[in-house]
Amino acid sequence: MNVYIKNMLRFCVIVLLQVLILNKITLRWWNEPSGFPIFIPYVYPLFLLLLPFEMTVPALLISGFALGLTVDMFMNTAGMHAFAAVLMAYLRTNVLSALLPRNLSEYAGLHPNIKTMGWMPFLVYSVFLIIIHHFVFFSVELWNLSNIGFLLLKVLASTLTSMLFIIVYILLFTRQATSSRI
Amino acid sequence: MRNFILFIRRFFNLILFLGLEIICIILIQHTNTMQGNDIVSSANTVAGIVYKKQSDVVYYFGLRRMNDSLLSENTMLRKKIDAITSIDTLIDSAVHRQIDVNDTSVHIVKYADYVYRTAKVINNSTNASNNYITLNRGAQDGVAKNMAVISGAGIVGRVEHVSAHYSSVLSILSSKQKVSAKLKDGTTGYIVWDEKKPDILIMTDVPQQAKIRRGDSVFTTSYSFFPPDLLIGRVLKIATIRKNNLQLLYLQSSTNFRKLQYVYVVENKMSQERKTLEDSSSAKK
């Protein structure tokens, strides 16, 4: 399949998954230990994680902005998701080139995945970017640092659940047939 | 000039990045000042249609609960009718109650300030710091900005963005708006939300001398945009702040925000007049 069409489809699927299903389930980890934050898993950054390796930074930034703005439109948080997503898109290239042994332009036609990167590098790459995304988003949303413990707790819990969903997505949508690593 | 172009080409990524972030900050600021940017809100058509499709599907799963809530609302309304018909309307001078004016010997002005429109909730959130609800009624159905939104059980929020067929409502589960409230004996205070649990509201600025017990009801006042005397919730916990001798009441909200389905959009026909009057008098100060 053409890489553009594939990514467009993935954009629609991930945004709809986020907006129609994940936004509706409110997670409470356990009942109520002194106001443990309520949160929802944000899985839509996965779209940015899975874009092809050789994508240039401007293209990444634009797609991050479009993604963030679409989610913002559905959630009435004008600009907040876009802010976090653009930052994440900007840092993506640096994180990837730090983690991978070869230059990014050598991985033509591939996209970050457990098959192309292996489990550990992929997890490090996604956890790092997701933490940055969640931290920025929740700080912008709460907009005061007076109860920083609450913020950190929210970021931590939210990151763990988002990662859980992301791993499930990866396991579901990866073909297991070939195990050709690079 | 050449150097300038080279500079731009060298730092193009950084410049684009900063530019996009600045656009985001501008968008965030616009919503926070409540001027309303209707493009990036769920009142717009694309988001409205998607949410409507979803609500069409999910609708059937809530029918039983909705029947129950309608029944309890009916009982409440019946009780209210009983109360009104048994009250001597001339002695009880609550002006917002509808009064039968067949008796021409006394001059009574008849008030019916509020128009109620039903609307279906097609999207709902309870877990952000500012929670929004999308309704399937818009400007074409007579919904306008700043109208109050209530449910059968209690208060819900205020209309913030309106498009032709949809509107999005800022619920009282929000750090952006305060609602004035009163206890049964007339002590007033403010309702705020601490961004934690969607069932717990907080009433602040209650003086120490007010005698409050657990289970007391809290109602809306006529100061706010809500119609007066609507139930907000019941007192769950009472805390005293030592610093300024004020009490803080934790309320169990009477509206179940997690399971909203139908709401009423309340138009106050007098609000424009009242606002002009209040603005003109505050401008003179």
The strand ranges marked E within chain B are 114-124, 130-135, 148-150, 155-162, 167-174, 179-183, 188-192, 200-207, 217-220, 231-241, 246-253, 262-268
- Let me know: does B109 contact B98? Beta carbons within 8 Å: no
What is the residue-averaged pLDDT of chain B? 80
Using the beta-carbon criterion (under 8 Å), do B21 and A86 form an inter-chain contact? yes
Assess A87–B contact: CB distance below 8 Å, yes or no: yes
Tens digits of per-residue pLDDT, B229-264? 888 999 988 888 877 778 888 888 888 888 888 888
Q: Given the structure tokens 């048994």, which residue do they identify?
A: B86
pLDDT computed for residue A142 by the predictor:
77
- Let me know: does B256 contact B153? Beta carbons within 8 Å: yes
pLDDT computed for residue A38 by the predictor:
66
Using the beta-carbon criterion (under 8 Å), do A76 and B129 form an inter-chain contact? no
Mean pLDDT along residues B156-175: 89
pLDDT computed for residue B77 by the predictor:
81
Using the beta-carbon criterion (under 8 Å), do A79 and B26 form an inter-chain contact? yes
Q: Select from B17, B51, B132 the Cβ nearest to the Cβ of A86.
A: B17
pLDDT computed for residue B95 by the predictor:
46
pLDDT computed for residue B92 by the predictor:
43
| Res B158 pLDDT > 60 | yes
Q: Given the structure tokens 């050598």, which residue do they identify?
A: A106
Listed residue (A2, A12, A76) closest to A44, CA to CA: A12
Q: Residue A25, Cα to own-chain centre: how many angstroms?
A: 18
Assess A13–B contact: CB distance below 8 Å, yes or no: no
pLDDT computed for residue A34 by the predictor:
52
Among chain A residues, CA nearest to B259? A24
As for the ipTM of the complex, it is 0.82
Among chain B residues, CA nearest to A70? B40
Rounded CA separation B216/B204 (Å)? 15
pLDDT computed for residue B32 by the predictor:
59
Using the beta-carbon criterion (under 8 Å), do A72 and B50 form an inter-chain contact? no
| Res B105 pLDDT > 60 | no
Assess A118–B contact: CB distance below 8 Å, yes or no: no
Listed residue (A39, A49, A87) closest to A167, CA to CA: A49
pLDDT computed for residue A66 by the predictor:
92
Shortest alpha-carbon distance between residue A162 and chain B (Å)? 15
Instruction: List phi, psi (to 5°) of B42.
Output: -75, 5
For A67-90, b/e burial (b = at least 16 CB within 10 A) is bbbbbbbbbbbbbbbbbbbbbbbb
pLDDT computed for residue A86 by the predictor:
93
Residues of A with Cβ-Cβ distance to B176 under 8 angstroms: none
Residues of A with Cβ-Cβ distance to B28 under 8 angstroms: 78-80, 83, 140
For residue A169, give both structure tokens: 């997505």
Assess A76–B contact: CB distance below 8 Å, yes or no: yes
Mean pLDDT along residues B164-184: 88
Residues of B with Cβ-Cβ distance to A83 under 8 angstroms: 21, 24-25, 28
Residues of A with Cβ-Cβ distance to B17 under 8 angstroms: 57, 61, 86, 90
pLDDT computed for residue A153 by the predictor:
83
| Res B101 pLDDT > 60 | no
pLDDT computed for residue A60 by the predictor:
92
- Let me know: does B89 contact B102? Beta carbons within 8 Å: no
Rounded CA separation B34/B145 (Å)? 11
Residues of A with Cβ-Cβ distance to B31 under 8 angstroms: 76-79
Assess A139–B contact: CB distance below 8 Å, yes or no: no
Under the banding of pLDDT at 50, 70 and 90, the label for residue B33 is low
Mean pLDDT along residues B42-65: 79
Shortest alpha-carbon distance between residue B8 and chain A (Å)? 13
pLDDT computed for residue B39 by the predictor:
59
pLDDT computed for residue B111 by the predictor:
53
pLDDT computed for residue B74 by the predictor:
82
pLDDT computed for residue B93 by the predictor:
44
DSSP state of A90: H
Residues of B with CB under 8 A from a CB of A: 12-13, 16-17, 20-21, 23-28, 30-31, 37, 39-42, 44, 46-47, 50-51, 54, 123, 125-130, 132, 161, 168, 194-198, 258
Using the beta-carbon criterion (under 8 Å), do A74 and B51 form an inter-chain contact? yes
- C-alpha to C-alpha distances, B266 to B51, B113, B228, B241, B261, nearest whole angstrom: 23, 10, 12, 35, 16
pLDDT computed for residue B138 by the predictor:
87
Residue ranges of chain A with per-residue pLDDT less than 70: 1, 26-38, 175-182
Q: Residue A53, Cα to own-chain centre: how many angstroms?
A: 15
| Res B107 pLDDT > 70 | no
Tens digits of per-residue pLDDT, A54-66? 888 899 999 999 9
Helical segments of chain B, H only: 2-10, 12-32, 45-58, 63-86, 271-284
Assess A69–B contact: CB distance below 8 Å, yes or no: yes
Tens digits of per-residue pLDDT, B214-228? 888 899 888 888 888
Rounded CA separation A70/A86 (Å)? 13
CA-atom Rg of chain B in angstroms: 23
Tens digits of per-residue pLDDT, B132-142? 899 988 888 88
For A150-163, b/e burial (b = at least 16 CB within 10 A) is bbebbbebbbebbb
